[in-house]
């Protein structure tokens, strides 16, 4: 199964797939709709052959302008995937954290440390490590490849997998 995992961000989207993990950084001079369009096109290019796209869901406890902006990006990407018939699934942030660390309220640093320890991640970017965990969750669910203790795997049941 070809899986693409995304930790959406307007500045540093984490992207994980079979050929590795990286961040997608839009040009700094792009703002507003131009930035959304750039990200939509770049993500759709990466999703072209994917059988499933795994997205980190919305953080409903967050506040401020950044929440509105990430909501716009999330809506643009979800609609674009839907229009192209590309299956996608949302993984709530607390579920990703519970899978990675065993606790749903883990800090970004704890999730990153778990990626280094369990997934062999050699970087230091939270967006990349989140994307790696989303990818690992899909591998566990669909391919039976697990890198976490069985107690962590219970988090998979909280996702509405297609």
Which pTM does this prediction carry?
0.94
The confidence band for 73, taking pLDDT boundaries of 50, 70 and 90, is: very high
Q: Give the tens place of pLDDT for each residue, 87-108.
A: 999 999 999 999 999 999 999 9
- Of 66 and 73, the structure prediction assigns the larger pLDDT to 73
Average pLDDT over residues 59-73: 64
Go through the chain and tell me how many residues it has. 162
Q: 147 Cβ partners below 8 Å, 6+ apart?
A: 118, 119, 136, 140
> Is residue 68's pLDDT more than 60?
no
Q: 155 Cβ partners below 8 Å, 6+ apart?
A: 95, 96, 98, 99, 104, 137
> Is residue 40's pLDDT more than 80?
yes
Q: CA-based diameter of the chain, in Å? A: 45
Q: What is the pLDDT of residue 3?
A: 97
Domains, the chain, ranges and CATH?
Answer: 3-158 (3.30.420.10)
Q: What is the pLDDT of residue 31?
A: 93
């Amino acid at each position: 199964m070809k899986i693409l995992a995304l930790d959406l961000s307007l500045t540093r989207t984490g992207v994980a797939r079979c050929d590795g993990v990286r961040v997608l950084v839009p040009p700094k001079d792009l703002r507003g709709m131009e930035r959304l369009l750039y990200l939509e096109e770049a993500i759709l290019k990466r999703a072209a052959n994917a059988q499933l796209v795994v997205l980190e869901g919305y953080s409903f406890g967050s506040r401020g302008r950044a929440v509105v902006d990430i909501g716009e990006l999330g809506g643009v990407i979800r609609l674009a995937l839907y229009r192209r018939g590309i299956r996608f699934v949302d993984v709530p942030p607390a579920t990703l954290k519970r899978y990675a660390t065993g606790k749903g309220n883990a800090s970004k640093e704890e999730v990153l440390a778990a990626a280094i320890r369990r997934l062999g991640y050699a970087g230091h970017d939270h967006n990349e490590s989140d994307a790696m965990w989303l990818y690992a969750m899909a591998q566990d669910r669909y391919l039976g490849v697990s890198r976490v203790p069985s107690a962590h795997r219970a988090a998979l049941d909280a996702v509405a997998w297609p």
